[in-house]
Structure 1
Amino acid sequence: MAGRDLMRFKEFKKQGMAVRFGRFTQKENKQIRKNVEEFLALTGIDSAEKLLFTSRYPNDKDTIHRLKTEHHFYLHLGFMGIPRPWRLIYYRARKIFDPNNYKGRYTKEEKEQLKKYQALHGNDWKKISELMSRSNLSVAMKFSEIKSAINYGPWTEEETQKLMSAVKDVLRRKVTVENANSLSSLEQPDSELWIEREQLHQALPWTEIEARVGSRYWRQCKQKWNSVLTSKLTRGQQLFRGTNGLRTKITLIKRYSAEPWDVFYLPLFELCLSKLAGDVPRDYVQSKFYRLKVSFVPLWKRRTFSEIIDYLYEKTLPDLEEKLREEEGKQRSVDSSAARQQQQAFRLSDIFDSSDENDELMN
Structure 2
Amino acid sequence: MTMMEAEPVVHKKKKKKNKEHPAGEVPQLSNTYQACEEISLLKKKKKKKDKKNDIRAEGDAAERKTKKKRKREGEEADVTLVVRAETVQSIPQEQEVTKKKRKKRRFEETERPAQSQSCPKESDVTLTPAPTNDEAAQQKSAKHKAKRQRKTSPAAHLHPDEMPNEGPTLDIDEGVLQELREYLPHHKLNDDVVVRKIINYDLPRFRELKEKGIPVRSGRFTVAENKRLKANVREFLALSGIESDTKLFLPHRFPDEKNSIMKQRRKLRFIHQLCAGIPRTWTTILCRAKKMCNRENYMGRFTEDENKMLTKLHTLHSSNWSTISNMMGRSEHSLQKRFNMMSSGSGVWEEEELRTLLTNVRQQLLERATPDRDGNIGSAVIRKVDLYKQLPWMTLSEKVKTRSWLQCREKWMGYLTNKMTIGGVIKGRKILEGQIQLIKTINEMVVEDVADIVWDDLTHLFGNTHPDYLQMRFYQLKVAYVPRWNTMEDFCDIIDYLYEKTLPLLEEELKNCPEEEEPTEERDSYKLSEIFPDL
TM-score w.r.t. length of structure 2: 0.55
Following superposition, the deviation at residue 20 of structure 1 comes to: 2.1
Q: Of residues 167, 171, 179 in structure 1, which corresponds to 2:362?
A: 171
1:151 aligns with 2:376: no
For residue 522 of structure 2, what is the aligned residue in structure 1?
341
Look up the match of 1:294: 479
- Name the structure 2 match of 1:248: 434
Alignment check: 8 A CA contact 1:163 1:221 kept: no
Query: Which amino acid in the other structure matches residue 508 of structure 2?
Result: E
Please state how far the C-alpha of 1:256 moved relative to its aligned partner. Answer: 5.4
**What residue number does 2:230 align with?**
33
Counterparts of 2:404 and 2:272 in 1: how far apart (Å)? Answer: 42
Cα distance between partner residues in 1 of 2:519 and 2:321: 47
Find the aligned partners of 1:20 and 1:144 in 2 and give their Cα distance: 30
Cα-Cα RMSD: 3.3
Equivalent residue of 1:58, what SS? coil
* Aligned match of 2:449: 261
CA deviation digits over 1:110-131, x for unaligned, max 9? 1112112222222232332222
Once the 2 structures are TM-superposed, how far is the Cα of residue 312 of structure 1 from its aligned partner?
4.2
Alpha carbons of 1:11 and 1:351: their partners in 2 closer, same or farther (altered >3 Å)? closer
Percent of aligned positions that are identical: 32
Tell me if the contact between 2:275 and 2:285 (Cα under 8 Å) persists in the aligned partners: yes
Unaligned runs of 5+ in 2: 1-196
Paired letter, 2:201: R
Query: Residue 106 of structure 1 corresponds to which residue in structure 2?
Result: 302
**Partner residue of 2:241?**
44
SS of corresponding position for 2:255: coil
Instruction: Give 1:54 shift.
Output: 1.6
Within 5 A, what are the aligned runs for 1:74-223? 74-79=271-276, 81-148=277-344, 150-152=345-347, 155=348, 159-160=350-351, 162-176=353-367, 190-213=377-400, 216-223=403-410
Residues 129 and 135, structure 1, Cα contact 8 Å, conserved in 2: yes
Alignment of 1:17-28 (within 5 A): 17-28=214-225
Write out per-residue CA displacement over residues 166-208 of structure 1, whole angstroms, 9 at most, x where no aligned residue: 223332244247779x99x7xx5x5233333223222333344
For residues 63-112 of structure 1, the C-alpha deviation after alignment (integer angstroms, 9 at most, x for no partner) is 22232233332332222x21222232222211110122112111111111
User: Helix, strand or coil: the match of 2:202?
Assistant: helix
> Is 1:326 matched with 2:508?
yes
Counterpart of 1:69 (choices 259, 263, 266) is 266
Instruction: Give the letter for the 1:281 counterpart.
Output: H
User: What is the alpha-carbon distance in structure 2 between the residues aligned to residue 160 and residue 31 of structure 1?
Assistant: 48
The question of whether the paired residues in 1 share the 8 Å contact of 2:447 and 2:492 is answered with: no
Please say if residues 250 and 317 of structure 1, whose CA atoms lie closer than 8 Å, have aligned partners that are also in contact: no
2:278 is aligned with what amino acid? I
Instruction: Provide closer, same or farther for how the CA distance between residues 15 and 177 of structure 1 changes in structure 2, counting only shifts above 3 A.
Output: closer
Whether the 8 Å contact between 2:438 and 2:461 is mirrored in structure 1 is no
Provide the secondary structure at the position in 1 that maps to 2:378: helix
Alpha-carbon deviation of 1:147?
Answer: 1.0
CA distance in 2, matches of 1:147, 1:336: 44
Which is bigger in relative contact order (C-alpha 8 A, separation at least 6)? Answer: 1
Asked whether the equivalents of residues 164 and 352 of structure 1 are also in contact (C-alpha less than 8 Å), the reply is no
Distance 1:175 1:228 in 2: 18
More deviation, 23-32/11-20: 11-20
1:276/1:337 contact within 8 Å kept: no
Cα contact 2:220–2:451 (8 A) shared by 1: no
When residues 136 and 255 of structure 1 are mapped into structure 2, their CA distance, relative to the original with a 3 A threshold, is farther
User: Residues 151 and 15 of structure 1: is their aligned pair in 2 closer, same or farther, counting only changes over 3 Å?
Assistant: closer
Runs (5+) with no aligned partner, structure 1:
356-363
Distance 1:75 1:216 in 2: 41
Contact persistence 2:383–2:525 (CA under 8 A): yes
Q: Sort the Cα spacing of 1:98 and 1:305 in 2 relative to 1 into closer, same or farther, 3 A.
A: farther
Any conservation in 2 of the 1:175–1:194 contact (CA below 8 Å)? no
How far does residue 253 in structure 1 lie from its aligned partner after superposition? 4.1
The answer as to whether partners of 2:209 and 2:279 remain within 8 angstroms in 1 is: yes
Rounded Cα–Cα distance in structure 1 between residues aligned with 2:325 and 2:302 = 13
> Any conservation in 1 of the 2:369–2:382 contact (CA below 8 Å)?
no
Shift of 1:322: 1.8
User: Aligned with 2:449: secondary structure?
Assistant: coil
Distance 1:160 1:151, change over 3 A: same
Equivalent AA in structure 2 for residue 73 of structure 1: F
Give 1:230 deviation, angstroms: 1.1
Assess, with a 3 A threshold, how the Cα gap between structure 1 residues 343 and 41 changes in structure 2: closer, same or farther: closer
Query: Structure 1 residues 351, 304: CA separation in 2 closer, same or farther (over 3 Å shift)?
Result: same
State the alpha-carbon separation in 1 of the partners of residues 514 and 313 from structure 2: 63
CA distance in 2, matches of 1:178, 1:231: 20
Offset, 1:138: 1.1
Instruction: Give the TM-score normalised by structure 1.
Output: 0.79
Letter in 2 for 1:224: K
Say whether the 8 Å CA contact 1:162–1:212 is kept in structure 2.
Answer: no
Secondary structure of 2:346 counterpart: coil
- What secondary structure, in the 3-state scheme, does the structure 1 residue paired with 2:275 have? helix
